[in-house]
A and B are shown apart, each in its own frame.
Chain A
Amino acid sequence: MNTLEVKNIKKTFKLSKKQQKIEKTDIKLKIAVNDLSFTAFPGEIYGLLGPNGAGKTTCLRAISTLIKPDEGDILVGGSSVVTDSFEVRKKIGFLTSELKLEDHFTPNYLYTYFSRLHNVEEDVIEERKKVLFERFGIEEFKEVKVGDLSTGMKQKTSIAISLVHNPEYIVFDEPTNGLDVLTARSVTDYLVELKESGKTVILSTHILSVVEKLCDRVGIIINGKMKISDTLENVKKTNSNNDLEEIFFNLVKEDELAGGGF
């Protein structure tokens, strides 16, 4: 019941003429994810791997209820993104570069604003804000407008805001993007803490070392399809050298040889 279950989801997009030109194709429909399934468990970090355009972000957007799958369903703690997206939104903390913060406001204002939208009690808002702001070093720039912050500062603020409601399910898309080594480390350490406190964490990244260090389970998506999904240990076992990078490249190559389509 406390799992995050992606069940055979399919999502197609209509390509505009402009997009057809960019992708150099005549095909009007693009299948972004096709029959994708995996399950993430509490107390674990599930790493979603895949090259650019493989369908990772589409999958994460579907989990976050920003888009609805054409087929299949995603159950977040038993709530369906198709029929009960409102409940799903209460349970998840979502971070992706697509979610921007308004330049005009300060991290302090936005934290309180999103906490209220998540129906967090006023005293809890302040308490949790103090912890998260200290943790990610936001305290010193909390009254600076987002528009005047550096990329790293913005990313830290976004992370804190995605966690205002202390969600049970955390979906982070490339969380260490734009962060320096020290801050990136504080983020990955925090993800481990979240996992240890029993949260279900999904992490999408293309940094294989991060996956190896943090993830308990791994799923590799190529061309919208889940090529492999298992514990990190079992995935590694599929290669004689136990080398995740090699496994990843072999799968990409295999797919290319097979024509790369659906």
Chain B
Amino acid sequence: MKNIVTIFRKEFYRVMSDRRLIFTAILLPGLAIYIMYTFIGSAIGGEIEDITQHKMIIYTENLPTEVQNYIYTQEINPEYHIYDSAEHDELEEMILNGEVDMLIRFEETFEDDIDNLIVTGIQIYSNPGEKYSEYTYNVITNALHSYANVIGIERYGDAYYSFDMSSEIIMDEEKAAGQNFAMLLPMLIVMFLFSGAMSIGPDSIAGEKERGTIATLLVTPVKRSEIAIGKVLSLTVISMMSATSSFIGIMFSLPNLMQGAGDNLDVFIYGAWDILMLFSVLLATVFVIVGLVAALSAYAKSIKEASMLIMPFYFISMALGISTMFSGEASSELWVYFMPIYSSVNLIIAILTFDLSLTAYLITISTSLIYVAIFVYILTKLFQSEKVMFSK
């Protein structure tokens, strides 16, 4: 036990006393996520603002004053140009190039046709490949549909058949908000935990082999299992710190990322108990991930080889995270909770959606501990193997 503490302290001090490592393994993940998500969010927000602020350029033929006024009442204020049929081809070219957003041609007899109950045609030219043109098309066609409704109501009064829809939303707001988290977070959490372990695991074990410092440790009277446990524990703590940093980064950047659409993403819907449960699942998961990373790093001859060996497992874990992204619901099948990492992903969803089953929780935690025990056993065996430790 004393040796485990000695090794743990040394491994922990190794990272904590190295400014470069503190920055790259602990601070950078959170900072990078915050900057990245804020940047993506403001880019998306900026794009939306850009489109809505854009002055629509519309060429019109026979635009009826009534229609123009109606569009104006809808707070749509485009720049109108008069269509000249002689320049039709050039105009189409300009729509194609995005210089003009739309051409709208009304029948000369548009207003008379309406009065005489004749179906009248409106011909619209637009380019869905251009963002301004696509937006103009949507806004103008919506306005025209609603103008048609207005005519119907004016003409027939109550006899005009229209739906009077009203909707009542019946939902558990917390659960709905939780669902948003459940869709976003599991994949990100698994990704952060993995990248935290990957940033230091290979260096701590494969790096020691590569640099020849592991032999110095192996000639001391320390049980190989103590070396394995000491290393796994320190890697776990540092990975958790790295994941926490990422977590803080994402929590702060979510409002920026969602740009208003994220009103439902209020982390304060979760109480201390939920956070505690989430933390225990994260800890169990990080143990499994660190165990795996440590065993692969011990097997590899170099840091580079260790990173290569870990990569496929990283992708599989991410795929497991993504697989639940669209349902946002935890699996009710019990066997799922026996699968490493996949069980954690489902359990994280269950906690975030306030749908936690005690059985699933207990199975996940206990199987994770069994998996980490297996990895520690493998790691111990690898430390005992002269072939693995000293192969060049």
Contact = CB atoms under 8 A, between A and B. Distances in A.
Is B one of A's binding partners?
yes
Interface string A112-136: 0110111100000000000000000
B346 to A, nearest CB: 40
B220 interface: yes
Contacts of A86: 221, 223
B6 interface: yes
A114 B212 contact: no
Interface string B1-38: 01100110010011001100000000000000000000
A66 B386 contact: yes
A112 to B, nearest CB: 9
Contacts of A89: 219-221
Contact of B216 (A65, A68, A101, A103): A101
B218 interface: yes
Contact of A104 (B17, B217, B218): B17
A237 B18 CA distance: 58
A100 B221 contact: no
Contacts of B220: 89, 114, 117-118
Nearest to A67: B386
A90 interface: yes
Q: Which range holds the interface residue count of chain A?
A: 20 to 34
Given A66-B386, A104-B18, A117-B3, A99 B215 contact: yes
A196 interface: no
Interface residues of B, number: 25
Contact of A116 (B6, B217, B218): B6
A102 interface: yes
A100 B386 contact: no
Contacts of B217: 117
A76 B94 CA distance: 92
A66 B6 contact: no
A98 interface: yes
B216 A100 contact: yes
A94 interface: yes
Interface string A75-115: 00000000000110110101000111111110001000110
B211 A119 contact: no
Contacts of B215: 66, 98-100
A65 B217 CA distance: 12
A191 to B, nearest CB: 19
Contacts of B7: 117
A104 B14 contact: yes
Nearest to A99: B216
Nearest to A64: B219
B219 A94 contact: yes
A258 to B, nearest CB: 30
B252 interface: no
A94 B221 CA distance: 12
Nearest to A18: B392
B3 A66 contact: no
Contacts of B223: 86
A176 B369 CA distance: 48
Contact of B6 (A65, A87, A94, A117): A117
Interface string B357-376: 00000000000000000000
B339 interface: no
A144 B212 CA distance: 20
A64 B10 CA distance: 23
Contacts of B389: 66
A64 B3 CA distance: 20
B14 A99 contact: no
Contacts of B390: 66-67
Given A66-B386, A68-B386, A113-B10, A118 B213 contact: no
Given A99-B216, A100-B211, A102-B211, A119 B14 contact: no
**Centre residue among A86, A90, A104 by max chain B CB count within 10 A:** A104
Top 7 A-B residue pairs of the complex, sorted by shortest distance between their CB atoms: A100-B212, A89-B221, A117-B220, A99-B216, A90-B221, A67-B386, A116-B6
Interface of A: 64-68, 86-87, 89-90, 92, 94, 98-105, 109, 113-114, 116-119, 161
Given A117-B222, A119-B221, 6 more contacts: A67-B386, A101-B216, A105-B14, A117-B6, A117-B220, A117-B221
29 contacts: A64-B219, A66-B215, A66-B218, A66-B219, A66-B386, A66-B390, A67-B390, A89-B221, A90-B221, A92-B219, A94-B219, A98-B212, A98-B215, A99-B215, A99-B216, A99-B219, A100-B211, A100-B212, A104-B14, A104-B17, A104-B18, A105-B14, A113-B10, A114-B216, A116-B6, A117-B3, A117-B217, A117-B221, A117-B222
